[in-house]
DNA sequence: GTCCGGACGCTTGTATACTAGTATTTCTCG
DNA sequence: CGAGAAATACTAGTATACAAGCGTCCGGAC
């Protein structure tokens, strides 16, 4: 494992890497977070700041900035003078993340159902069609991106743009789990069906229904935990 | 403004400053955040990394780590090659923070009302008595600390320890506002009364009542915004 | 053969030197 | 005297050097 890290979406940091420009920290943060979510950096993996810097073509300084944020997200564990490790999946952390996500998204979708306008619903409809196409191609990567966009649209519709970043950071723990469970093909179309049901309720300005359907949809993922834990016991915490 | 920054709770970084030990970043982060909330670093103030380092007795590196987290919290604005500034209060950011706080705390208190046990309620009761004593002395600083502890207890009772840190980061924006409105003495006792009402509902295992009272209590702060904005127009964003 | 000890190599944390970009200030020219 | 341009004094971003703690591995003594 000494190869340069293949960055999703092309290796385009050449521009942002030059000094005197904008910080490359946020870029590295997003890239590393993606690698962790996709389990290309598996739970328990040791991360050397110097090695990461070499493989990413930057020095330790911006790498440390990214790792600091990942530590705030509890995605990596930094033990001084010992090392930095990709955090193992903690069922408690997943449960907490689920709690946060459910609280924020369900509250937001209630407001969104009241504020929904034609233009926003058209955007969401377009997203749903793209999801269906991705599922038709069994293109999990594309679908997961569209899924994120869908939920972000629902959130932003509430008129509180700061909510999504918070939700996203919590959601990462859930995405990490889901990444391991997205193997069954009919699972995907079930998700898209649920999305459409939520969108319909929002478009119909029905907060109660929207919240109920969304809550059920969000909890579906969590039910996969025991199965995944059996398949990848080494990805989970000891307790 | 070239004096060493007086750190709340004593200037004890001597131990943590020594290299090879635990990072001093989190400490600096908490100290700076406190200074911003207390408006000792007023909105719009220019923060020089080098000057902060000198005044805090450390180099730029840990200062930058702290400022990075404050930037994530939107408490400072970093403009590359120009400077770092204490963010002005944004009514939109306050509204978003209120949304997040209300979602998380109200959902948590519902769960807490179901899980409340004797021991936890005794802790909360003790906290309430301390609040009353602080109000009797008109000791705003002590009361605000106790207020934080009270809400954290309510949150933690839900059994999701990761919720409070998220809530705390959002709450900072609200604390900053409240810091400017805590001038009226009867305001304090109103708050303590509301706290007791919430605690009673939780102790009685009444989620609906607990949520309703808490929500009303949380919204009380927000109603002060226009008055504060009149008193400190320069603390707020332009638009 | 076993156990203890020291040296070495690794880690993260911190300090400092350097780069490039921005704003201001000052000097020169019209 | 005014206006424009160059020089200067800052800024944050990055790279690198140094400090100090921890674990491992190897060698020697018993």
Question: pTM for this one?
Answer: 0.88
Cβ of B93 under 8 Å from any chain A Cβ? Answer: yes
The reported pLDDT for the residue numbered B224 is 79
* A127-173 residue pLDDT tens: 999 999 998 888 888 888 999 999 999 999 999 999 999 999 999 99
Residues of A with CB below 8 A from B99's CB? 107-108, 158, 160, 163
Provide the CA B236 to C1' C27 distance, Å, integer: 40
**3-state secondary structure (DSSP) of residue A78:** strand
Strand C protein footprint, C-beta under 7 A: A 18-21, 47-51, 60-61, 64, 78-84; B 16-17, 19-25, 53, 58-62, 65, 81-82
> Quick one: pLDDT at residue B4?
56
| Å separating the CA of residue A41 from the C1' of nucleotide C19 | 33
pLDDT higher than threshold 50 for residue A16 = no
**A-interface mutation test, from B29, B62, B65, B68, most A Cβ less than 10 A away:** B68
Q: How many angstroms separate the CA of B4 from the C1' of C22?
A: 28
Calculate mean pLDDT across residues A189-201: 91
- Does residue A222 belong to the interface with chain B, where contact is any CB pair within 8 Å? no
Residue B8, pLDDT > 70, answer: no
Nucleotides of C under 7 A from a protein CB: 10-23
| Burial of A157 from C-beta contacts in 10 A (0-12 / 13-18 / 19+) | buried
> Which residues, at least 6 apart from B4, have a Cβ–Cβ distance to it below 8 Å?
B11, B55, B56, B57
B149 neighbors B127 (Cβ within 8 angstroms): yes
pLDDT > 90 fraction of chain A, expressed in percent and rounded? 69
* pLDDT value of position A230: 86
Q: Which nucleotide is nearest to B25 (CA to C1')?
A: C13
In this prediction, residue B231 carries a pLDDT of 86
Q: Mean pLDDT, to the nearest integer, of A162-185? A: 87
C1' of C26 to CA of B64 (Å): 33
Instruction: Name the residue closest to the C1' of C23 by its CA.
Output: B82
Q: Report the percentage of chain A scoring pLDDT > 70.
A: 89
User: Bridge-partner residues for B236, per DSSP?
Assistant: B89
Given an 8 Å threshold on Cβ–Cβ distance, is A162 in contact with B81? no
Asked if A64 CB < 7 A from strand D, the reply is no
Contact (Cβ atoms closer than 8 angstroms) between residue B101 and residue B218 = yes
Chain D bases under 7 Å from protein CB? Answer: 10-23
Rounded to a whole number, what is the distance in angstroms from the first to the last CA of chain A? 29
A6 band by pLDDT with thresholds 50, 70 and 90: very low
| Neighbour order of strands in the sheet with A46-47 | A46-47, A83-86, A76-79
pLDDT at A94: 93
pLDDT score at A185: 65
**Residue-level pLDDT at B76:** 97
Q: Answer whether residue A194 shows pLDDT above 50.
A: yes
- Of B57, B78, B39, the residue nearest B176 (C-alpha): B39
Binned at pLDDT 50, 70 and 90, residue B1 comes out as very low
Helices and strands counted in chain B (H then E)? 11, 3
Residues B172, B175, B176, CA angle at the centre, nearest 5°? 90
* pLDDT score of B71 more than 90: yes
Q: What is the DSSP letter of B236?
A: B
**Closest residue (Cα, C1') to D15:** A59
Rounded alpha-carbon distances, angstroms, from residue B195 to A117, A191, B218: 39, 41, 10
Average pLDDT over residues B12-23: 52
Strands A76-79 and B83-86: unpaired
The pLDDT of residue A5 is above 60: no
The per-residue pLDDT for A56 is: 92
d(CA B94, CA B100): 10
pLDDT (average), residues A114-138: 91
Closest-approach residue (CA) in chain A for B69: A69
Q: Considering only A81-95, B99-113, B173-187, which range has the smallest mean pLDDT?
A: B173-187
Across the interface, of B72, B80, B160, the residue whose CB is closest to A99 is B160
Average pLDDT on B128-136 reads 92
Per-residue confidence at B5, pLDDT binned at 50, 70, 90?
low
Asked if the C-beta of A76 comes within 8 angstroms of chain B's C-beta atoms, the answer is no
Residue B55 clears pLDDT 60, i.e. is over it: yes
Q: Which of residues 3-42 of B touch strand D (CB under 7 A)?
A: 18-21
Mean pLDDT of B59-83: 95
Among the ranges given (A124-138, B2-16, B65-79), the one the predictor scored with the smallest mean pLDDT: B2-16
More confident residue, B184 or B211: B211
Q: Which residue has the higher pLDDT, B222 or B86?
A: B86
pLDDT at A12: 42
Q: Give B35-45 pLDDT, tens digit per residue.
A: 999 999 999 99
Average confidence (pLDDT) over B150-156: 95
Taking CA–CA distances from B160, the nearest residue in chain A reads A96
Which single residue has its CA nearest the C1' atom of nucleotide C15?
B59
CB-strand contact B72/D, under 7 Å: no
Residue B65 with chain A: CB contacts under 8 Å:
64-65, 68
Amino acid A17: pLDDT: 47
Q: What local confidence, expressed as pLDDT, does residue A14 receive?
A: 44
Q: Give the pLDDT of residue A184.
A: 65
Q: How many CB pairs under 8 A join A and B?
A: 75
Q: Is A21 on the interface with B (CB under 8 A)?
A: yes
Does B72 sit within 8 Å of A68, measured CB to CB? no
Most confident of A100-104, B89-93, B118-122, B144-148: A100-104
| Maximum pairwise Cα distance, chain B | 57
Please tell me the predicted confidence (pLDDT) of residue A7: 44
pLDDT at B87: 96
Average pLDDT of the segment spanning B56-85: 95
Inform me whether the C-beta atom of residue A180 falls under 8 Å from chain B C-beta atoms: no
Mean pLDDT over residues B136-161, rounded? Answer: 92
Q: Is the CB of B137 under 7 A from strand D?
A: no
């Amino acid at each position: 494992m000494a190869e340069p890290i293949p960055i999703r979406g092309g290796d385009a940091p050449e521009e942002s890497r030059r000094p005197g420009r904008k910080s490359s920290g946020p870029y590295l943060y997003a890239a590393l977070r993606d690698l962790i979510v996709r389990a290309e950096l598996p739970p328990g993996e040791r991360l050397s700041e110097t090695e990461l810097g070499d493989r990413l073509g930057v020095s330790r300084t911006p790498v440390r900035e990214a790792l600091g944020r990942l530590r705030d997200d509890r995605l990596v564990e930094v033990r001084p003078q010992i090392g930095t490790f990709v955090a193992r999946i903690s069922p408690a952390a997943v449960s907490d993340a689920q709690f946060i996500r459910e609280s924020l998204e369900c509250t937001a979708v209630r407001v969104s159902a009241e504020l929904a306008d034609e233009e926003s619903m058209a955007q969401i409809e377009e997203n749903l069609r793209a999801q269906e196409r991705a599922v038709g191609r069994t293109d999990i990567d594309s679908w997961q991106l569209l899924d994120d966009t869908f939920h972000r649209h629902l959130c932003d519709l509430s008129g509180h743009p700061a909510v999504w970043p918070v939700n996203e950071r919590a959601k990462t723990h859930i995405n990490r789990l889901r990444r391991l469970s997205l193997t069954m093909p009919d699972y995907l179309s079930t998700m898209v069906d649920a999305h459409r049901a939520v969108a319909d309720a929002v478009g119909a300005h029905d907060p109660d229904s929207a919240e109920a359907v969304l809550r059920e949809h969000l909890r579906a993922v969590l039910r996969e935990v025991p199965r995944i834990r059996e398949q990848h016991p080494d990805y989970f915490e000891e307790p």
